[in-house]
Amino acid sequence: MPLYEHVFISRQDLSSAQAEGLVEHFTTVLADNGGKVVESEYWGVKTMAYKINKNRKGHYAFLKTDAPSAAVQEMERLMRLHDDVMRILTIKVDAHEDGPSVQMQKRDERESRGDRDRGGDRGGFRR
């Protein structure tokens, strides 16, 4: 079956238990349609870059799934109809990465961000 990753944002006025309940609800929707959730993460309340439906913050959740496309379409349809879900993003991946997502890793555990020049000559700008 195809592999997918989903991120959805729910309203900020929900409790964290209610937001995690949404994850469980959409997990059962996938299971009822022949799919399964490989891993799920609740990222917590985060500030968004712009307001969505007059909300500045939202509960973020992440799902790694192994499901047929019909099951994913049904879950997305129910997410769009649910009043508490503000945004959804689904991408198809070739393989799931092992371990926690980047959002759940501590800053010092993340890989370096490439070869950045830390000080020294900064492209010819002088003070």
> Is the pLDDT score of 6 beyond 70?
yes
Pairing mode, strands 85-93 and 3-11:
antiparallel
Convert the pLDDT of each residue in 41-63 to its tens digit: 898 899 999 998 888 999 999 99
Tell me which CATH code domain 3-89 carries. Answer: 3.30.70.60
Rounded-to-integer distance, Cα 15 and Cα 26, Å: 17
Threshold 0.85, pTM exceeds: no
> Is the pLDDT score of 80 beyond 90?
yes
> Is the pLDDT score of 27 beyond 60?
yes
Rounded-to-integer distance, Cα 86 and Cα 80, Å: 8
Through-space distance between the first and last CA atoms of the chain, rounded to whole angstroms: 58
Interval 111-123 mean pLDDT: 54
For every residue of 50-117, DSSP letters joined together read EEETTEEEEEEEEEEEE--HHHHHHHHHHHHH-TTEEEEEEEEESSPPSS--GGGS-GGGSPP-S---
Question: Which pLDDT band holds residue 117 (cuts at 50, 70, 90)?
Answer: low
Q: Look at 90 and 99; give whichever has higher pLDDT.
A: 90
pLDDT for the residue numbered 114: 55
Domain boundaries, the chain: 3-89
How many other C-beta atoms are found inside a 10 Å radius of the C-beta of residue 104?
13
Provide the mean pLDDT of the chain.
Answer: 84
